[in-house]
């Protein structure tokens, strides 16, 4: 057992802030109270520390494009085909990517790893923990969303090949045509099943989007592409997540507030034409108007461990502290359908907790401890007289 004492706890459950203790056993939170006494528990005194749920990045490519490795470690895109709904990001993740260790040091405990965006349909994203030695044990949700991309990056303008897609018309046609055929396949087989002669692996893999068991994540920057995504949602009754949504503020009134928004990345330049109209005040605007607003790094565009910095920048541009904290905890957990396990500090949930020696969004604040599945994944060991902090990451078992 692990007993965290005397912390200022932002539970993210009904906006409750508690001054007190958290008892952890077998990877779960078993008690939260103002004063807990448990014989035999390892005690960590968190007096004068801020305790929050482990941070969550709702869209990144950590592990599937490895840090510092180059092309040999890049498994984001399967370029032999542009329609790949059957592919799982899980199968391309290297859990020993150094990005995960850096993430743990910043209090990030859960990420959604997505395939790349150079295909019309890239595959399915995977929600995993950032700590642990076995991928299977780190997986929170093996298949969380079907990833679809619309925009300039999908157009094969730099490709010598001439097949589709070469335009937004072709991209939208390919998506619509695939969904029409997949839906017909679903309706014809949902009651009687399918025999071997008519089995289609690609259509079989997306049956879950028509039963709403799985979400569809559409990556789009420009307003016209976001509008295309909204039309497809209506046409096929999709449970939609909008990712990037860079020009979403221009058509905010057209976006249903039930659609989660994965906004970002905001710590890059505007070298891509699609990001020309990026507005860093968008997170503040959308969150104030009641949208489920999430901040993302899209690692490696922005290093995964900079997720708290993204929130800090959003606060600088008008987002409230509370909404910024929600945007990297409970909001992405709800958007990804994993809020039964992560995103808030509540009894029964996974013991994923980040502890800081001050406001987590201020530059001088340091991570004191990160706990993943009840294990201390990172702990700052203290400081020398020179005030240079010593760091220690607990060895993964």
pLDDT at 163: 83
pLDDT at 388: 41
Answer yes or no: are the C-beta atoms of 82 and 353 closer than 8 Å: no
pLDDT at 386: 36
| Structure token pair of residue 14 | 């009904």
Q: Which of 206, 214, 220 is nearest to 239 (CA)?
A: 214
pLDDT per residue of the chain (397 residues) written in tens, 0 to 9: 999 999 999 999 986 899 999 999 999 999 999 999 999 999 999 999 999 999 999 999 999 998 877 677 788 899 889 999 999 999 999 999 999 999 999 999 999 999 998 999 999 999 999 999 999 999 999 999 999 999 998 986 666 667 889 899 999 999 999 999 999 999 999 888 787 778 999 999 999 999 999 999 999 999 999 999 999 999 999 999 999 999 999 999 999 999 999 999 999 998 788 999 999 999 999 999 999 999 999 999 999 999 999 999 999 999 999 999 999 999 999 999 999 999 999 999 999 999 999 999 999 999 999 999 999 999 997 543 333 444 455 544 4
Which residues is 110 bridged to in the sheet? 56, 129
Whole-model pTM: value is: 0.94
pLDDT at 75: 87
pLDDT at 192: 82
In the chain, domain spans: 54-343
pLDDT at 154: 92
Q: Using CB atoms within 10 Å of the CB of residue 125, give its burial: 0 to 12 exposed, 13 to 18 middle, 19+ buried.
A: buried
How many other C-beta atoms lie within 10 A of the C-beta of residue 212?
10
Report residue 362 CA to chain centroid gap. Answer: 22
pLDDT at 385: 38
Q: Which backbone phi and psi does 382 adopt, to 5 degrees?
A: 135, -160
- CATH superfamily membership of 54-343: Metal-dependent hydrolases (3.20.20.140)
């Amino acid at each position: 057992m692990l007993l965290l004492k005397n912390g200022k706890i932002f539970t993210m459950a009904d906006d409750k802030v508690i001054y007190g203790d958290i008892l952890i056993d077998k990877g779960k939170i078993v008690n939260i109270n103002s004063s807990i006494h448990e014989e035999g528990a390892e005690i960590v005194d968190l007096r004068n520390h801020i305790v929050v749920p482990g941070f969550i990045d709702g869209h990144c490519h950590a592990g599937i494009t490895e840090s510092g490795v180059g092309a040999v470690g890049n498994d984001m895109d399967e370029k032999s085909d542009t329609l790949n709904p059957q592919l799982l990001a899980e199968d391309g993740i290297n859990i020993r990517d150094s990005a995960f260790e850096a993430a743990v040091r910043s209090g990030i405990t859960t990420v959604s790893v997505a395939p790349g965006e150079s295909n019309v349909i890239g595959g399915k994203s995977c929600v995993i923990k950032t700590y642990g030695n076995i991928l299977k044990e780190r997986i929170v949700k093996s298949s969380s969303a079907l990833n679809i991309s619309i925009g300039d990056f999908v157009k094969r303008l730099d490709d010598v090949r001439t097949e589709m897609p070469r335009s937004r018309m072709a991209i939208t046609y390919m998506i619509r045509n695939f969904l029409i055929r997949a839906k017909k396949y679903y309706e014809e087989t949902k009651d009687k099943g399918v025999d071997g002669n008519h089995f289609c692996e690609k259509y079989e893999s997306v049956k879950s989007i028509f039963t709403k068991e799985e979400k569809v994540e559409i990556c789009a920057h420009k307003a016209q592409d976001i509008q295309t995504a909204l039309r497809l949602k209506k046409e096929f009754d999709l449970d939609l997540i909008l990712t990037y949504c860079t020009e979403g503020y221009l058509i905010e009134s057209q976006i249903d507030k039930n659609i989660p928004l994965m906004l970002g990345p905001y710590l890059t330049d505007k070298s891509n034409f699609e990001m020309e109209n990026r507005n860093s005040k968008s997170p503040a605007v959308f969150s104030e108007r009641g949208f489920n607003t999430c901040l993302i790094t899209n690692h490696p565009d922005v290093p995964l461990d900079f997720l708290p910095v993204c929130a800090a920048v959003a606060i600088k541009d008008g987002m409230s502290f509370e909404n910024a904290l929600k945007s990297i905890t409970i909001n992405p957990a709800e958007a990804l359908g994993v809020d039964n396990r992560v995103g808030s500090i509540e009894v029964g949930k996974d013991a994923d907790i980040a502890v800081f020696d001050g406001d987590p969004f201020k530059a001088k604040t340091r991570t004191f401890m990160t706990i993943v599945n009840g294990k201390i994944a990172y702990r700052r060991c203290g400081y020398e007289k020179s005030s240079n902090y010593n760091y220690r990451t607990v060895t993964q078992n």
